[in-house]
Structure 1
Amino acid sequence: MNTPAAVHPVQAVEHLGTYTVIDVRTPGEFAVGHLPGAHNIPLDHLGAALPALKTAATRRTLLMVCASGNRSAAACAQLADADIPATTLTGGTAAWIEQGHPVDRANTAKASWAMERQVRFAAGSLVVAGLALGTRYRPARWLSAAIGGGLVFSALTNTCGMAAVLAKLPHNQPRTTDLDATLRALGQ
């Protein structure tokens, strides 16, 4: 896999108006805080958005954004396979916020947790459940071992199967009307 073109937050903020910003995080993560003017197309819906993104890329450079830069790099690779040029934001929104750049937040009282926080909560809960159940039913401790092994695998491969599963939950899915409106706006 080729390394996608990347831009650091300092460079991106200087030229923000020259980009079409696409945030590939879940809608819940997007609502918590995103780059000004960003459009939300979750990574698992990117395939359906390719025609609109191809049109948008003819007008402006696509800047792909996620929490840390991993999902946006994967999005850039998927776009490159479809001959759509795109750039990734190095360090993602975490680096953007850390450097003090502005973010927009959704007007919702109930914003979802960031995916990393959802993974930590789910993994921790499963480990505790495995240990607690293991006091009465010894084989239940294997649940804790499996989660621990999964976390080690996740760190070694820089992937996260649990995040992929959690992204499928209803609160992490875009409303069809929101995604359709985003695709119409990009395709015009």
Structure 2
Amino acid sequence: MDTSPARPTTPAPLDATTLRELLDTGRAPRVLDVRTPAEFETSHIPGSYNVPLDLLREHRTELRNHLDEEVVLVCRSGARAAQAEQTLAGTGLPNLKVLTGGILAWQAVGAPVNQGRPRWDLERQVRLVAGTIVLLSILVSVVLPGAKWLAGLIGAGLALASITNTCLLGTLLGRLPYNRGASCDLDTIVGQLRDGPAGRRS
């Protein structure tokens, strides 16, 4: 009979203050920021690596080969990082943690952040697009009554996104050129992970 302990089904949390202490004392884990390149460019933890969630999902096996150490996953508020943890946990990667509260919590404790050109975060874009579609569908329904069902479809999609902690609209928006920003392909990311501190972005 297998007596090995079961793996936790929820990501191991790590608060911003503890992560900052680890980075300051030189016992730094590998910090992976799974937001879009545009969000990463706007602000990120110094020394972190940008590995967008969609790319991580598609190439988790290749990336896992370069993640043989303690890893902390970061996003805006923690939701996408939790999805990334589930993806990497499936590859057998140990010592995974999720930064509680994401980059927002990191900034709230006054921890250092590298700033770049401001971009709208993905959650804000989702609210704009979903709200615009709902508004337009209601207005159009005055002439074409069937258009109201588009608003219902968006509402159902948002409800499903909350239940499953995923967002198809966010995934689609994340692939737009606006959100891709600077080049962030698999070869570049693997090179940065392989080279370690010398290959990471500032």
Q: TM-score, normalised by structure 2?
A: 0.81
The 1:171/1:101 distance shift into structure 2, 3 A limit, reads same
Which residue pairs with 1:127 in the alignment?
A: 134
Match of 1:81 in 2: 90
What RMSD, in angstroms, separates the aligned Cα atoms of the two structures?
Answer: 2.1
> Residue 46 of structure 2: SS of its match in structure 1?
coil
Aligned mate of 2:107, from 66, 86, 97: 97
- Kindly indicate whether residue 58 of structure 2 is the aligned counterpart of residue 51 of structure 1: no
The answer to whether the Cα contact below 8 Å between 2:37 and 2:181 also exists between their aligned partners in 1 is: yes
Q: 1:4 aligns with which of 3, 11, 16?
A: 11
Query: What is the CA deviation profile of residues 37-82 of structure 1, one whole-angstrom value per residue up to 9, with x for unaligned ones?
Result: 1111101111426434433434xx2111111112112212221211
Q: Is the 8 A contact 2:11 2:98 kept in 1?
A: yes
The list of structure 1 runs, each at least 4 consecutive aligned residues, that deviate by more than 6 angstroms after superposition, is none
Q: Which amino acid aligns with 2:110?
A: G
Following the alignment from structure 1 to structure 2, what is the Cα–Cα distance between the partners of residues 105 and 52?
A: 26
Q: Which residue in the other structure is 1:184 paired with?
A: 191
Paired position in structure 2 for 1:164:
171
Unaligned runs of 5+ in 1: none
Residue 177 of structure 1 and its aligned partner are, at CA, apart by 5.9
Secondary structure of residue in 2 paired with 1:55: coil
Shift in Å at residue 97 of structure 1?
A: 1.7
Report the number of matched residues. 183
Offset, 1:10: 1.1
Q: Cα gap change, 1:152/1:81 in structure 2, threshold over 3 Å: closer, same or farther?
A: closer
Distance in 2, matches of 1:52 and 1:154, equals 26
Task: Select which of 97, 112, 119 maps to 1:112.
Answer: 119
Structure 2: gaps spanning 5 or more residues: 1-7, 196-202
Matches of 1:149 and 1:177, distance apart in 2: 32
SS in 1 for 2:113: coil
| Aligned counterpart, 1:25 | 35
Percent identity of paired positions between Structure 1 and Structure 2 = 38
Q: CA deviation at 1:170?
A: 2.1
**Contact 1:97/1:103, CA 8 A, preserved across alignment:** yes
Q: Which residue of the partner structure matches residue 198 of structure 2?
A: none
Choose the corresponding residue for 2:151, options 144, 147, 152.
144
What CA distance in whole angstroms lies between the structure 2 residues aligned with 1:14 and 1:50? 30
More helix by share: 1
**Which residue identity lines up with residue 185 of structure 1 in the other structure?**
Q
Tell whether the 8 Å contact from 2:33 to 2:48 is kept in structure 1 after alignment.
yes
Q: How does 1:31-42 map to 2 (within 5 A)?
A: 31-42=41-52
